[in-house]
Structure 1
Amino acid sequence: MQEAGKIKLGISIGDLNGIGCEVVLRTFEDSRMLDFCTPIIFASNKAISQQKSDLGLNINFNGIHDATKAIDGKINVVNVWKEHTPIKYGEATAESGKYALKSLRAAVDALKNDGIDVLVTAPINKNNIQSEEFNFPGHTDFLAQELNGESLMFMVSDGLRVGLLTDHVAVKDVASSITPKLIRSKITTIENSLKMDFGIRRPKIALLGINPHSGDSGVIGKEDDEVLKPVIKEMSDKGHLVFGPYSADSFFGSDNYRNFDAILAAYHDQGLIPFKTLSFGKGVNFTAGLDKVRTSPDHGTAYEIAGKGKADHSSFKEAVFAALHIFKNRQEYKGLIANPLKKQKMKR
């Protein structure tokens, strides 16, 4: 029987030819991690045994057929498949994509059915995982389909939090993809997440401009003046602490980001380049806005070092702690909503 309060942490194993399995196993090689949660890896006994042997890791795990059979105090592995899995470190194969999807599908099903409380996803290869079942640019869009809510790619690390208006969208399509409706939706999602997931009562949010220098009053593009600014004013007039648009080139270097609880970037690289530079490999990708908690490390499959025992598991470990922290914050937030008197006392 699960210890009261012990969080069931599900893990999709990602691409077996990458570093995903290594960072997962190295994280839980430290037995103290089992004090915080009950890890449940969705893969197979054979695959985990081979990776453990190849990497020379001294860990034991408990093979199970269903997440509900997980044992507290142990690393649990759900046998999603029983056949031998060909592992070719450093190669993007169709087989590794197939098994990455099997693991993800089983983990998400368990999350939807409350077999696990939170999900941490190891890196996938966005190309070889494509199939009739998975036709998405990444985890975020897949989870948005599977789980309820409005998804937001939210990169978090200590006090730095960066959300994206558009995530895996080609640069040529960014400006046309940003609409007043999208901006309102993302601001609302990020604001609700800051309140519910991070315990910030009156979140302060900065928006970065779409064009260089936020368009320079229309000289370098009109999207900032015609699309971003009206929505910022509209939401500000309604009491939301939303500011901008700020010129992205100087926003982080000037330390202005420290004045806000979160930053909403216009597109992928605008937000992730400064985030990954400042977070030093310890950042976490959190899918905000969904009714379930999912995090992942801020790196990819790193084929070039796969199977060599060189992977740094810091970001995956941070993703584990972030998932646990956010889950607990949500439980507390739900308790406050259900008990208005307690909430009122806390405001005093």
Structure 2
Amino acid sequence: MKHAEMIKLGISIGDLNGIGSEIVLRTFDDTRMLDFCTPIIFASSKIINFLKKHYKLSLHFQGIDHPSKAIDGKINVMNVWKENVKINFGEEDTTVGEYAFKSLEAATSALKNDDIDVLVTAPINKHTIQSEKFNFPGHTDYLAKELGGDSLMFMITDNLKIGLFTDHVALKDIASVITPELIEKKISIIQQTLKQDFRVEKPKIAVLGINPHSGDHGVIGKEDEEILKPTIQKIRDKGDLVFGPYSADSFFGSKNYKNFDAVVASYHDQGLIPFKTLSFGRGVNFTAGLSKVRTSPDHGTAFEIAGKNEANINSFKEAVFKAIEIFKAREEYKVLTENPLKKQGRKI
């Protein structure tokens, strides 16, 4: 478990025409952030210098050619490329998308090789980043392929955690994608991440229905009766605290979510609309189920305000703090599972 060394926090710069670079640099323009981690931004010194001047920031950084050269107490810029990149804030640009991928690819490689401890990703444009090397609907699927494991989009705050059975899946395909096997796999990932990453010994999980009113006993669709309910019961028969399906329209307004450690939504907007409404811009996207820790802010590139120095940095800052907290919790969990008597307060 890391004590003497600072946690090395890698950052992929995202789409340079969006707000990603602004939220990254403005977060670490506050030098107090350097007390919590050693940031390593995967980009280039040239581009960071341009952005520093554009946003009129006072931050000081040093360019490095390998994460091992990073210095604690400094902002480190890993030079992934040396050439100039033309930035046109607010515009979609496939060339800029290529550099977003170069940053992500280098940061992911460093994470795989333990050259960094955690990864925080700035927003990408899911259209312009597409290429032969990146043919994924988003970060989550790419990282699952590179790092191995079954990934799950897990939206988190201190008081609300929402996982998804399906994330970037077209609405018309949802019902056919949600199978008993998928339900069991996703709930298992959530249970494990609550234990190892959030220190919840016996997780209590709520599941939202697929159809309006959870199908009203089959009147509005049969998926809840035929797929969700029997699978949830099968999981409960094993002794796990999993409940539902609950009608999604009233679940959050009634504050029922406060009775659970996590909630599982059937599809993207069913979970993210209430999450973003309740999290007030401080939510974090955590990729659960992977061997490494990756977080990101809960928003996109926001081209409409890019380059204007108007972006809210709160979600990105929270993503930094959550990555650090999860890394420490996971290291602690490893110690406890390797030495179970420590959990009981006994000396080994």
Normalising by structure 2, what TM-score?
0.98
1:320 and 2:320 equivalent?
yes
> 1:116 is matched with which residue?
116
Q: What is the CA deviation profile of residues 96-140 of structure 1, one whole-angstrom value per residue up to 9, with x for unaligned ones? A: 100000000000000000010000000000000000000000000
Please state how far the C-alpha of 1:3 moved relative to its aligned partner.
Answer: 7.6
What residue identity is the alignment partner of 2:289? G
> 2:208 is matched with which residue?
208
User: 2: distance between equivalents of 1:202 and 1:183?
Assistant: 19
> 1:49 is matched with which residue?
49
What residue identity is the alignment partner of 1:140? T
What residue identity is the alignment partner of 1:85? V
The unaligned stretches of length 5 or more in structure 2 are none
Relative distance call for 1:3 and 1:332 in structure 2 (3 A) is closer
Alignment of structure 1 residues 207-286 onto 2, 5 Å: 207-286=207-286
User: 2: distance between equivalents of 1:327 and 1:5?
Assistant: 13
Q: What is the CA deviation profile of residues 60-88 of structure 1, one whole-angstrom value per residue up to 9, with x for unaligned ones? A: 10100111110110000000000001111
> 1:88 is matched with which residue?
88
Please state how far the C-alpha of 1:270 moved relative to its aligned partner.
Answer: 0.1
1:161 and 2:161 equivalent?
yes
RMSD: 1.0
What residue identity is the alignment partner of 1:226? E
Q: Secondary structure at the match of 1:202?
A: coil
What residue identity is the alignment partner of 1:89? F
Q: Secondary structure at the match of 2:163?
A: strand
Please state how far the C-alpha of 1:344 moved relative to its aligned partner.
Answer: 3.4
Q: What is the CA deviation profile of residues 175-229 of structure 1, one whole-angstrom value per residue up to 9, with x for unaligned ones? A: 0000000000000000000000000000100000000000000000000000000
8 Å contact from structure 1 (residues 295, 323) kept in 2:
yes
> 1:334 is matched with which residue?
334
> 1:33 is matched with which residue?
33
What residue identity is the alignment partner of 1:131? S
What residue identity is the alignment partner of 1:299? H
Please state how far the C-alpha of 1:5 moved relative to its aligned partner.
Answer: 3.6
**Percent identical residues:** 70
Q: Secondary structure at the match of 1:290?
A: coil
> 1:17 is matched with which residue?
17
What residue identity is the alignment partner of 2:170? A
8 Å contact from structure 1 (residues 3, 72) kept in 2:
no
User: 2: distance between equivalents of 1:261 and 1:167?
Assistant: 20
> 1:60 is matched with which residue?
60
User: 2: distance between equivalents of 1:3 and 1:188?
Assistant: 31
What residue identity is the alignment partner of 1:57? L
Please state how far the C-alpha of 1:343 moved relative to its aligned partner.
Answer: 2.0
